[in-house]
């Protein structure tokens, strides 16, 4: 009985710090806000899918991410991530028409596709399976309301549950 208790006391604390996460779900708050799902291929590679809303429409984003650990000497919990991907969806807006003394608005919708980049920092909490992050996701729309739309500063705050 004493041996079992000693083994449990030695093994159980180490299990909490050696967790390997395979998936993450979370929320993203920013210009493109929404829900995201990430699955890890290994410690340094993952794929992220983001269902986001922007400009009155909905887009799905698929990104390949790379993770860099141990870049900062003051902590091992801060992770640099970067990547690239694609998005597709639609956007919606109102267009004003003026004819004589009358004017009216009509809802307009356009399909859009584009390219995404990603650079961010995430802080991992090992005690609880949560990460907090700050990222910028510049994007380039190839179709849509404007034929070519570039947004360099899509900043966001993220919260993810790792499992």
Task: Encode pLDDT of 47-104 as tens digits.
Answer: 999 999 998 999 999 999 999 998 888 888 999 999 999 999 999 988 888 888 888 8
**CA distances, 65 to each of 48, 82, 117 (Å):** 7, 6, 10
Measured torsion, CA atoms of residues 44, 50, 54, 58, in degrees rounded to the nearest 10: 150
Q: What is the DSSP letter of 19?
A: -
In a domain, 87, yes or no: yes
pLDDT confidence tier of residue 3, bands split at 50, 70 and 90: low
Does residue 1 lie within any of the structural domains? no
DSSP 25: E
**Residue range 18-30: mean pLDDT, rounded:** 87
Structural domain total, the chain: 1
Q: Is residue 115 part of a domain?
A: yes
**Per-residue confidence (pLDDT) for residue 19, from 0 to 100:** 62
94 part of a folded domain: yes
Q: What is the DSSP secondary structure assignment for residue 41, as one 8-state letter?
A: S
Find all residues with CB under 8 Å of 134, minimum gap 6, and list them.
120, 121, 155, 156, 157, 158
Between the alpha carbon of residue 55 and those of residues 83, 111, 162, the distances in Å are 23, 12, 29
Tokens (6 digits) for 103: 């004017």
* pLDDT for the residue 84: 98
Reply yes or no on whether the pLDDT at 17 is more than 60: no
Residue 6 falls within a domain, yes or no?
Answer: no
**9 in any annotated domain:** no
Selected residue with higher pLDDT from 27 and 11 = 27
- Tell me if 137 is assigned to some domain: yes
Handedness of CA 58, 116, 47, 80 (dihedral sign): negative
When pLDDT is averaged across residues 135-155 and rounded to a whole number, the result is 91
For all residues of the chain together, what is the average pLDDT? 88
CATH number at residue 149: 2.40.160.20
Which pTM value belongs to this model?
A: 0.80
Instruction: Indicate whether 16 belongs to any domain.
Output: no
Domain of 148 in residue numbering reads as 21-162
């Amino acid at each position: 009985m004493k041996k079992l208790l000693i083994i449990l006391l030695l093994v159980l604390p180490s299990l909490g710090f050696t967790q390997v996460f395979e998936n993450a779900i979370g929320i993203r708050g920013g210009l493109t806000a929404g829900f995201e799902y990430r699955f890890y291929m290994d410690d340094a590679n993952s794929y992220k899918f983001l269902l986001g809303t922007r400009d009155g429409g909905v887009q799905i984003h698929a990104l390949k991410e790379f993770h860099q650990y141990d870049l900062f000497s003051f902590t091992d919990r801060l992770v640099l991530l970067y990547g690239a991907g694609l998005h597709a969806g639609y956007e919606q807006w109102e267009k004003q028409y003026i004819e004589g003394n009358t004017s009216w608005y009509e809802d307009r919708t356009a399909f859009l596709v584009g390219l995404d980049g990603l650079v961010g920092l995430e802080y991992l909490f090992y005690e609880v399976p949560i990460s907090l992050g700050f990222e910028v996701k510049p994007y380039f729309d190839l179709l849509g309301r404007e034929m070519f739309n570039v947004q360099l500063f899509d900043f966001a705050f993220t919260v993810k549950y790792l499992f």
